[in-house]
Structures are given as structure tokens and as C-alpha cells.
């Protein structure tokens, strides 16, 4: 378990020393002092500057040693080159936590990197908990406490306290998020900008917020992490506490460099490792700032005990077009809009206008609210729809109304309060008299339906992930992998080592995995003899560490049934290799496995998060279709089933899990083998495995060791 840093002095300081503050225009320390005074921060504020008597009307102290007592928090509003010395002064004065706003560190090139490395070393040596550098600080609207120079604070006179806390490597994005949520009537608990993370990381603050009673939702913007295991464990702690974490990840985790020698390089790029980590830890991954806002505000006002328990959505409209569009959008997001049961439709008779459509999407027509005969029945009709056993979420699709918008808003809020299902509302062109009661009830209103549907899909996945992360269901980890004597199999690994198919198949076989029979032939006669011994049709593959995509190089021959065909193929493959300037180690003569479904099963070690298994369509389809799932290794049977069920190529088979058992067994055994691999960077790929009935066989194999 990582050692999380105590950040309480940064989040709830009783006294703040602002070092370098002055009344000079543009001085960020002076700005901080004025903001702390403007919002009446409930803590002592002590400017520190040897050249000033006062700052913003407060007494200014010449140095840290002259302070009335050791401050809980220091704001180091000094240039980058002075920060390290000021940290040492703070430590000497009993101050143990501080914020550095200045840039000019690692983001500024080699010299800045050296400056940051030295600062980090000093902080660790002295135990100084430093936030930043190159950050915008911390804002606590509840106190209120503004340890920040954010321009957002200059243009507002009121901070709306709420239950969303945001931890962000971008200060500008964090303050923009706070401003936008406040505009929608939702408040923040904390805004925390971590900047370069020389010492304190996002993981330290996420872990602290898990234990913060006023934080209901944690929003995260992250580009990368210096301590990935700390971040991962913080997310797992949030999942255990059932406190949602919404993560906007910028930038893609590159596939390992040597993965380009294998098909894995095409599969595991574009942040899929991060996707797998966030999925494993029950974090809600979003892909835009808009989606981050939508999900965070939805969760802020929702009852977290009413998360969707399945994918069934009841779409309720008062005009048919929106319902049809929403059904399409639900389908694209993996949600269902199931027809209401006969019993439900029967119960709705007499509750809705005769012209209403009550299958799903449910078009109640404008009569439902504009006609006094039907409006009194609307609440009961909503209860009946929500009670349908196939419905897990109710989505309102509303638009302009001629009158009584506030009455409709009340119906929506009352229904959401009493329903045991998740309820979301999209209201295009909503007027203020409807928005006000919805805000008062903490109902987030989506400006259009597709954004609400996107959120529903995220909440469905989050609820399912929470169940998987439930206490008492520990996930397998690398240390659980059974020992395998990799050193005996690959005794002299150096960077760039390529273990070709014959040796790779031998390793797989020693690990108990079924492989297609094969022999490495070094002459035409040996090839003919090997084919004769194997029997039936064979495959011939030119073997060279320099050629890992044999089909593309033309060093592959299939369906060879006679000795003459084997001999002719030997000569052809040798000639093609020579034409490309390649010296073959030999030609692998292998049993041809007929029929079946081809899958790719591979593994790599990510430098941040460890070993992952990638599953996808195999053979010629691998890079033609984007059908891939990436999961942490090792996998247990349940994880393997969920991963395989995520492949389009296996979706139908996954409806009967027992059918997939042979593939599950292969994948779990392969994942344990990969998790035991000792190298810092490697790729182990089998493409394809062939699944025929109750048999799964490795047909091709490759191991690339990048960093022993």
C-alpha cells in the first residue's frame, strides 16, 4: 500500500503565511492576501516580505522566523530560483506544508527539470508537503479559504459551497469547471490544482477526499502521473467507499516501443491501458470537459443509492421525434429501450391520453400536461412506468411549453424523489421559472437528450464496476501469479531480444497451454520429414528475429498437403528471405488447425501500471477491425469472461458463459504466465489462438523483451 501524504494543513489551515506578498500591481502574493481578506477566510493571514511594513492592510513580517507561530500553510509567492531556499526557511520555522505557484520548473526544459528535481529532493529530505509548482493553488468555498491567485476569484463576490471536489493538473481547467458548475447552481467543496506534482500528487488528494465528509463527487483532470500505484490505490479506496471519481484523462499512453513488432502495438495505444485501470478501479472515464461537467453535476444532486441497476431506459417524451432519436442514441451507447410489458401498458390505460404511445419510447403527447383531464394522472403514470421490471433509468425529454413550466418542474422533482430508479431530465429551451425549482431540488438539467444518455451509459458502467469492486471481492494482482522459471527459458535477455515462435511455443507448452505441433527445420529434407511426422495439412513459416510480421513479408505458406508442396514452399520462402536480405534461422513446419474462431491474446508491461492482457479479433482481422479489450493481469475466470464478452466477435457466444469456458481457461492461464514475467518492458503475443469447440490452441507466438 502506498504511503499517502497528510494534506490536512493544505486543505484546512488555521494560519497562512504568504511569503513574497506585496502591494505592487501584479504581485500574486498580494493578490492572495486580498482574496483571503475579501472572502473573510477563517484563518490568520500573515504576509511575509522584508521590504514591506503592511500588505493589503495587514501587518507584514520580515521573515518566517518573525511570525507569531509556525503557520499551518505557507504560500511561496516567490520566483522559481528562490523557492528551494524559502522551503528550507519554512522548515526551520516549523512550517511543514506549502504551495508553490511559480512556473519555470520541469515544464520549462532541462534547466527547469534540474531545479524541480532539487526542490523535490529537499522536500523529501525535510518532510515538507509541497503542492505544485506551476499550480494555481486551493480554493475551499465552504470556509471560505482561497489559497490561490485565480482570476475567477477576482470577478466573483460569492463562492457557492457544494459537494464536488476537483483535483486537476491544470489550474485553468479546474477554475473554469468551478465557475461553470456555480453558474448551473452546483457548488464546489474543493478546487485543488496540483501542477507539476514535484511532491504531492493527485493520488494524495483523491485519497484525502475519500475521507472528506463534505465531498460527494471527485472530479479529476490528469495528463500523467508520477506515482501511478498511489493513484490506483486512491481510486480503489474511493470505490470501496462508493464515492464516485470522474476522470478526464488527456493524452494517450503510448504502446511499448517494441510492441510495434507485434500486432499488440496497434491494439494497446490510445490510452487503452488507462481505460483498463480506470475500469478496474470503478472510476468514471469521460472524454471531454462537457462530459466531466455533465456527470459531476448529475452525481452531485443524485441519490447515489439509486444508480442504474441495468441498461433498460424508459424515455418519456411529450412529442415523438425526441423519443425516436433517444432510442437510437441509447442503442449506440450500449443501452436498451425495452418495450414496456403488457402489464405496464394495461395499467397505463386511463392514466394517459388515448393518443399516447406507451410502448417505449413513451410519447405522452402535450395533452398529458395541457389538458386538465390528464394532468392529475401524470404522477401515477410515471410511477407505473418506473415500476416496469425492465426499466432501470427514466429519462425525461422536455421542450418548450406554452404554460405551467414550473408545475412540470415540480412533477419531475417529486417523481425523482419518490422513485427508486435513477431519473434524469433533459429540457431544451428551459425557462427560468422551471429551472429554479429544479435547481432547488439539485436536479441537473441537460440542454439536450444525447448528453443525458451519455451520462446514463457511464453510470450503468460505474454501478457494475462498483459491484465488482465490492468488499470481499479482491482482484487478482501480479503477486498472485504462480511462479514460472522465466530465467531458465530466457537466460540472456538484453534490450531488443526477440524470442521467435518455436521457442515461444515451447514456453507456452511448459506453462500448460496447448500449442499446435511444430518443428523448426533447417533443411529441405528436415522440412519434408517434419511434415510427414505431423501429418495432414501443415503451415510453413520463415523464422527470423528481424521479421515478426511474416505474412506481410511473404514468409508464410498455408495448407500444404504433400511432400512436393512442402519442398517447393521451402525453396520459395528461402528465396523471398534472400531477396529481402534476411537470413532465416530455419523454417517452422507446423500443424494447420482447421476452422474455428481466431483470437489474439497478448500481454505487455506498461511502465506505469504493470502487466496487461489484450484480447481481440485474431488473424487477418486484428488490425482491420477495432475489436479489443485490455485488462490488468492476472485475470480470474470472472474477469476473463467479462473481458471476452466485451468483444464484438464473441458477443453472441458470451450469452452462454459455459460455451466460452475453454477460452476462459486459456486466457486466465496465459495471464498468470504473463504476470510472472520479470522484465520491465516486454510484449508476449499469441496471434492467433484458434477456438474450435472445446479446444483452444496457440497457433502463433512471439516474445519481445525491451528492458530486462
Parts of the chain belonging to CATH 3.40.50.720:
8-251
Residue 276, pLDDT above cutoff 80: yes
Gap between the Cα atoms of 170 and 181, Å rounded:
17
When pLDDT is averaged across residues 4-21 and rounded to a whole number, the result is: 98
- Is the domain covering 597-707 a CATH 3.30.470.20 domain? yes
pLDDT at 260: 45
Under the banding of pLDDT at 50, 70 and 90, the label for residue 479 is low
pLDDT tens digits for range 453-477: 999 999 999 999 998 876 655 555 6
Q: Tell me, yes or no, if the pTM score tops 0.75.
A: yes
Higher pLDDT, 261 or 137: 137
pLDDT at 253: 52
Residue 701, pLDDT above cutoff 80: yes
Which of these ranges, 14-18, 88-92, 216-220, 597-601, has the smallest mean pLDDT?
Answer: 597-601
pLDDT tens digits for range 288-302: 999 999 999 999 999
pLDDT at 525: 95
Residue owning grid cell 504502446: 255
pLDDT tens digits for range 47-74: 999 999 999 999 999 999 999 999 999 9
When pLDDT is averaged across residues 105-131 and rounded to a whole number, the result is: 96
Quickly count: other Cβ atoms within 10 Å of residue 298's Cβ.
26
| Mean pLDDT, the chain, whole residue set | 92
Q: Best-predicted range by mean pLDDT among 190-194, 396-400, 683-687?
A: 190-194
pLDDT at 262: 53
Under the banding of pLDDT at 50, 70 and 90, the label for residue 252 is low
Under the banding of pLDDT at 50, 70 and 90, the label for residue 84 is very high
Nearest alpha carbon to residue 457 among 574, 329, 367: 329
- Give phi and psi for 375, each to the nearest 5: -55, -40
Cell numbers representing residue 22 in the block: 506585496
pLDDT at 270: 46
Residues 6+ apart with CB under 8 A from 575: none
H, E, C per residue of 218-263: EEEEECCCCCHHHHHHHHHHHHHCCCCEEEEECCCCCCCHHHHHCC
DSSP string, 645-666: HTSGGGTTGGGSGGGGHHHHHH
Helical spans, DSSP H, in 403-485 = 405-418, 432-440, 449-468
pLDDT tens digits for range 313-326: 999 999 878 899 99
When pLDDT is averaged across residues 631-654 and rounded to a whole number, the result is: 88
Quickly count: other Cβ atoms within 10 Å of residue 432's Cβ.
9
pLDDT tens digits for range 435-450: 999 999 999 999 999 9
pLDDT at 538: 95
Q: For CA atoms 415, 420, 426, 431, give the dihedral sign.
A: positive
Parts of the chain belonging to CATH 3.30.1490.20:
517-591
Which of these ranges, 267-276, 520-529, 583-592, has the smallest mean pLDDT?
Answer: 267-276
pLDDT at 265: 47
When pLDDT is averaged across residues 614-625 and rounded to a whole number, the result is: 70
Gap between the Cα atoms of 427 and 539, Å rounded:
62
Higher pLDDT, 496 or 190: 190
Topology of 8-251 in CATH? Answer: Rossmann fold (3.40.50)
pLDDT at 470: 66
Parts of the chain belonging to CATH 3.30.470.20:
597-707
pLDDT tens digits for range 488-538: 999 888 888 889 889 999 999 999 999 999 999 999 999 999 999 999 999
Burial (0-12, 13-18, 19+ Cβ within 10 Å), 297: buried
Q: List the CATH code of the domain at 304-468.
A: 3.40.50.261
Q: What percent of the chain has pLDDT over 70?
A: 95
DSSP type of residue 40: T
Which CATH number applies to 517-591: 3.30.1490.20, 3.20.20.70, 3.40.640.10, 3.40.50.300? 3.30.1490.20
Higher pLDDT, 216 or 265: 216
Residue 131 pairs in a beta bridge with 99
pLDDT tens digits for range 547-567: 877 888 899 999 999 999 999
Burial (0-12, 13-18, 19+ Cβ within 10 Å), 27: middle
Cell numbers representing residue 595 in the block: 476452422
> Taking a C-beta distance cutoff of 8 angstroms, is the pair 366, 355 a contact?
no
Higher pLDDT, 135 or 262: 135
Q: Which residues of 30-59 are buried (b: 16+ CB within 10 A; e: fewer)?
A: bbbbbbbeebebebbbbbbbeebeebbebe
Amino acid at each position: 500500500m502506498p504511503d499517502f501524504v497528510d494534506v490536512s494543513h493544505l486543505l484546512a489551515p488555521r494560519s497562512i503565511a504568504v511569503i513574497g506578498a506585496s502591494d505592487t500591481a501584479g504581485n500574486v502574493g498580494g493578490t492572495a492576501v486580498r482574496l483571503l481578506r475579501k472572502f473573510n477566510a477563517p484563518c490568520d493571514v500573515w504576509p511575509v516580505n522584508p521590504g514591506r511594513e503592511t500588505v493589503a492592510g495587514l501587518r507584514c513580517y520580515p521573515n518566517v522566523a518573525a511570525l507569531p507561530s509556525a503557520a499551518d500553510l505557507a504560500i511561496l509567492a516567490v520566483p522559481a530560483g528562490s523557492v528551494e531556499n524559502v522551503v528550507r526557511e519554512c522548515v526551520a520555522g516549523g512550517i511543514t506544508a506549502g504551495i508553490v505557484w511559480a512556473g519555470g520548473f520541469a515544464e520549462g526544459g532541462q534547466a527547469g527539470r534540474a531545479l524541480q528535481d532539487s526542490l523535490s529532493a529537499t522536500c523529501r529530505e525535510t518532510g515538507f508537503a509541497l503542492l505544485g509548482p506551476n499550480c494555481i493553488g486551493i480554493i475551499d468555498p465552504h470556509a471560505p479559504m482561497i489559497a490561490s491567485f485565480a482570476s475567477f476569484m477576482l470577478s466573483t463576490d460569492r463562492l457557492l459551497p457544494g459537494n464536488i471536489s476537483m483535483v486537476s493538473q491544470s489550474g485553468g481547467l479546474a477554475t473554469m469547471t468551478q465557475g461553470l458548475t456555480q453558474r448551473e447552481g452546483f457548488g464546489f467543496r474543493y478546487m485543488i490544482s496540483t501542477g507539476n506534482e514535484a511532491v504531492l500528487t493527485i493520488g494524495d488528494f483523491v485519497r484525502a477526499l475519500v475521507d472528506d465528509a463534505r465531498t460527494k463527487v471527485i472530479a479529476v483532470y490528469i495528463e500523467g502521473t508520477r506515482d501511478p500505484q498511489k493513484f490506483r490505490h486512491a481510486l480503489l479506496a474511493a470505490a470501496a467507499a462508493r464515492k464516485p471519481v470522474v476522470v478526464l484523462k488527456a493524452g494517450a499512453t503510448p504502446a511499448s516501443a517494441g510492441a510495434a513488432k507485434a500486432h499488440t502495438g496497434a491494439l494497446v495505444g490510445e490510452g487503452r491501458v488507462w481505460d483498463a485501470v480506470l475500469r478496474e478501479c470503478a472510476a468514471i472515464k469521460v472524454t471531454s470537459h462537457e462530459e466531466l461537467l455533465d456527470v459531476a453535476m448529475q452525481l452531485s444532486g443524485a441519490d447515489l443509492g439509486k444508480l442504474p441497476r441495468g441498461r433498460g431506459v424508459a424515455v418519456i417524451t411529450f412529442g415523438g421525434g425526441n423519443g425516436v432519436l433517444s432510442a437510437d442514441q441509447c442503442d449506440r451507447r450500449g443501452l436498451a429501450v425495452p418495450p414496456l410489458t403488457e402489464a405496464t401498458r394495461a395499467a397505463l390505460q386511463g392514466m394517459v391520453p388515448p393518443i399516447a404511445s406507451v410502448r417505449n419510447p413513451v410519447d405522452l403527447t402535450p395533452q398529458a400536461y395541457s389538458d386538465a383531464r390528464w394532468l392529475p394522472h401524470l404522477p401515477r403514470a410515471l410511477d407505473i412506468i418506473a415500476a416496469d421490471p425492465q426499466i432501470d433509468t427514466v429519462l425525461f425529454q422536455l421542450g418548450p411549453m406554452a404554460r405551467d413550466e414550473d408545475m412540470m418542474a415540480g412533477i419531475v422533482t417529486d417523481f425523482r424523489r419518490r422513485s427508486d430508479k435513477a431519473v434524469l431530465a433533459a429540457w431544451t429551451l428551459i425557462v427560468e421559472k422551471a429551472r429554479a425549482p429544479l435547481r432547488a431540488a439539485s436536479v441537473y438539467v441537460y440542454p439536450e437528450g444525447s448528453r443525458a444518455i451519455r451520462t446514463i451509459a457511464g453510470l450503468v458502467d460505474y454501478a457494475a464496476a462498483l459491484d465488482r469492486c465490492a468488499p470481499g471481492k479482491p482482484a487478482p494482482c501480479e503477486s498472485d501469479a504462480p511462479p514460472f522459471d522465466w530465467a531458465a527459458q530466457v537466460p540472456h535477455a538484453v534490450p531488443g531480444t526477440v524470442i521467435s515462435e518455436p521457442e515461444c511455443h515451447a514456453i507456452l507448452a511448459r506453462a500448460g497451454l496447448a500449442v499446435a505441433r511444430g518443428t523448426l527445420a533447417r533443411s529441405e529434407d528436415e522440412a519434408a520429414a517434419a511434415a510427414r511426422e505431423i501429418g495432414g495439412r501443415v503451415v510453413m513459416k520463415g523464422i527470423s528475429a528481424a521479421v515478426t510480421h511474416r505474412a506481410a513479408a511473404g514468409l508464410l505458406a498455408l495448407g500444404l498437403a504433400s511432400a512436393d508442396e512442402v519442398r517447393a514452399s521451402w525453396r520459395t520462402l528461402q528465396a523471398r528471405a534472400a531477396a529481402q536480405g534476411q537470413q532465416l534461422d530455419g523454417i517452422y513446419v507446423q500443424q494447420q488447425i482447421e476452422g474455428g474462431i481466431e483470437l489474439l491474446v497478448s500481454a505487455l508491461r506498461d511502465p506505469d501500471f504493470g502487466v496487461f492482457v489484450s484480447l481481440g479479433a485474431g488473424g487477418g482481422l486484428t488490425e482491420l477491425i477495432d475489436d479489443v479489450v485490455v485488462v490488468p493481469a492476472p485475470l480470474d475466470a470472472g474477469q476473463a469472461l467479462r473481458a471476452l464478452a466485451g468483444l464484438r466477435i464473441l458477443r453472441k457466444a458470451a450469452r452462454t458463459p459455459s460455451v466460452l469456458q475453454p477460452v476462459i481457461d486459456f486466457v486466465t492461464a496465459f495471464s498468470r504466465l504473463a504476470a510472472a514475467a520479470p522484465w520491465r518492458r516486454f510484449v508476449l503475443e499469441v496471434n492467433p489462438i484458434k477456438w474450435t469447440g472445446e479446444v483452444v490452441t496457440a497457433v502463433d507466438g512471439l516474445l519481445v523483451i525491451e528492458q530486462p
